[in-house]
Amino acid sequence: MDKNVVHRVLDMVRRPIGKMREINRRYAKPRIHMSRTVKISLLLLRLYLLFLVLIVVYRLIISLR
């Protein structure tokens, strides 16, 4: 495989990852005070999202078999 192609593919992967890391660094610390209820709600939403992603991945694996 041509080295230029490999570098282009790696750049296509690295650029979005770098942007995501920059965004995560910027918003790592909340700028507003959140109540305990809000924190628990956000945690539950994250868990629900993770559950949905796992279901999609599971369905994808099952459908590929």
pTM greater than 0.85? no
29: containing domain: 3-64
Helix (H, G, I), strand (E, B) or coil at 35: coil
String of DSSP letters for 9-36: HHHHHHHHHHHHHHHHHHTSS-SS---H
Q: Which has more confidence, 64 or 5?
A: 64
The structural domain count of the chain equals: 1
pLDDT of residue 48: 98
Picking from 38, 40, 42, the residue whose alpha carbon sits closest to that of residue 50 is 42
What pLDDT, on the 0 to 100 scale, is given for residue 30?
Answer: 76
pLDDT in tens, 13-40: 788 888 889 999 988 887 888 899 999 9
